[in-house]
Amino acid sequence: GAVVSQHPSRVICKSGTSVKIECRSLDFQATTMFWYRQFPKQSLMLMATSNEGSKATYEQGVEKDKFLINHASLTLSTLTVTSAHPEDSSFYICSASGVVRGNTEAFFGQGTRLTVV
Amino acid sequence: AQSVTQLGSHVSVSEGALVLLRCNYSSSVPPYLFWYVQYPNQGLQLLLKYTSAATLVKGINGFEAEFKKSETSFHLTKPSAHMSDAAEYFCAVSANPGGYQKVTFGTGTKLQVIP
């Protein structure tokens, strides 16, 4: 299947600082990317959907000024957690969608474990 | 609107025994259903998906699932559990076959395989 690379896999940051997470589609063009958040022992919750070159669409309850999403190219989307606080500690997963072998499908990155201390 | 319910947050089976992970769905449109596996601190890997071509779907690692419209179910099975199957499994539903729009996930079932 297609490869989606997410970086970093783990990050620890101090409260009040910002953290950037990258999501790259390595062998296909991702017209749409999705960002999910997973709390311990819970399922994935969609945070936002971004289309290349457009502003992201945020799910209800997700602060767009806190979770900045940029999808500037067909292979890269970034999620920046601004002024991070301990309650932002979570597992963040991206999903990239594009045409692979003639079909439009979505593939997940490996996830980023964010710990805010 | 769409939703999935996974019965049992934890399932334990002995190595070599049948694996059965339950998933029921609700959808206002014909559903496309997925099973994903997640290993600790990793992303999701697609096991299999139902896209209306066949009700019995075979996936990777010996897993399969059967779509039963009358029961609104999409249970995941494997005839013989292996230690490497220990992971968390998520059932998901989408309005499109590629899962490239909004996907709704279940709460997950953690599978433990006992030697």
Q: What is the pLDDT of residue B100?
A: 63
Return the pLDDT at A52: 85
Tell me whether residues A46 and B103 touch, CB distance under 8 A.
yes
Comparing CB atoms, the residue among A41, A105, A108 nearest residue B44 is A108
Cβ–Cβ < 8 Å for B12, B110: no
SS3 category, B69: coil
How far does B115 lie from chain A, in Å, by closest CA?
24
Around B2, how many Cα atoms within 13 Å sit in the side-chain half-sphere?
Answer: 18
**What pLDDT, on a 0 to 100 scale, did the predictor assign at position B97?**
67
Say whether pLDDT at A1 is over 70: no
- The pLDDT tens digits of the residues spanning B52-86 come to 778 999 999 999 999 999 999 999 999 999 999 99
pLDDT in tens, A56-115: 999 999 999 999 999 989 999 999 999 999 999 999 999 998 888 888 788 889 899 999
Q: Select from A46, A49, A104 the Cβ nearest to the Cβ of B98.
A: A104
pLDDT band at B98 (very low <50, low <70, confident <90, very high): low
Question: Which pLDDT score, from 0 to 100, does residue B28 have?
Answer: 80
Query: Which residues in chain B have Cβ-Cβ distances shorter than 8 Å to A49?
Result: 102
Q: Is the pLDDT of residue A17 over 90?
A: yes
CB contact under 8 A, B44 and A97: no
CB contact under 8 A, B107 and A42: yes
CA B13/CA A7 separation, integer angstroms: 35
Whether B41 and A1 lie within 8 Å, measured CB to CB: no
Q: Tens of pLDDT along A21-68? A: 999 999 999 989 999 998 877 788 899 999 888 889 999 999 999 999
Between chains, do B102 and A49 touch, taking CB under 8 Å as contact? yes
